[in-house]
Amino acid sequence: MIVNRRATIAALLSVNAGSFLAKPARSKAPSQMGLQLYTVRALLEQDFEGTLARIAAIGYRQVEFAGLYGPSFQQTAAMLKRHGLSAPSAHVSYEQLERELPLAIRDANELGQKFIVCPFIDERRRRTLDDWKRVSHRFNEIGEQVRKAGLSFAYHNHDFEFRPIDGRIPYDVMLAETDPGLVKLEIDLYWATRGKRDPVAYFQEYPQRFPLVHVKDMARDGTITDVGSGTIDFKRILGQSALAGMVCWFVEHDNPRDPMRSIETSLRFVQQLDV
């Protein structure tokens, strides 16, 4: 992958920040349904633009990047625009945020993104509650720099955040230690459910802190399945989107057998939800 870091393409892909960052008054599903591109990563590697075209044809209007882009940001932005897609969010590793935050901010601006999301924390950084506090304070610092650039910073969970350490839940520690104005959450519904936590309870305790959500389902055996095929009560959870502050929903499946069939099945299920 060759990335042209100097390409400035704000004119190619302008996004109205208010459409993403304002608190939603509605409780219905966002009209601009999104897909986390990790779901189709193998297809993107084979045919980047062709895969984007198929995603758009299915009915998605937003995508969230997870480290895979086209030959350059300029070409990627042109492809998105050509197929009626926007990219409000992207995952950026903790290590890159630590070492190259200005570059990550520049990359986000070049693609018209409004959210920078840390997707994971390496185990060596999160062994104790003090570790979680240190990470949380670092998130505040990152969030401050991201906010100064006109963007928003968020953290995406797995299930390890819900495993108690010395009687406390690390996710709760992070929520308590981070500034709500600087650090938002991208809640992954599969991993939260896998961690035996109720997303709605978090929405009630921390309203407006969850602008992004990964819509991902859990089968009865605990594995990931197509949205609507598993056990998660999406109507109940997504029905609280206004309370949570959700503005972007991203369908995701980590390892689908047939990625295109999976993302279409999942989208159709979400579209018919009366929430």
What does the pLDDT look like over 73-132, one tens digit per residue?
Answer: 889 999 999 999 999 999 999 999 999 999 999 999 999 999 999 999 999 999 999 999
Hey, where are the domains in the chain? 35-271
What does the pLDDT look like over 119-132, one tens digit per residue?
Answer: 999 999 999 999 99
Both tokens of residue 122?
A: 């390496």
* CATH 3.40.50.150, domain 35-271, yes or no: no
How large is the average pLDDT for residues 33-62?
97
pLDDT band at 17 (very low <50, low <70, confident <90, very high): very low
How large is the average pLDDT for residues 214-243?
97
Assess whether pLDDT exceeds 60 at residue 9.
no
How large is the average pLDDT for residues 135-142?
98
Assess whether pLDDT exceeds 80 at residue 32.
no
Assess whether pLDDT exceeds 90 at residue 24.
no
pLDDT band at 31 (very low <50, low <70, confident <90, very high): low
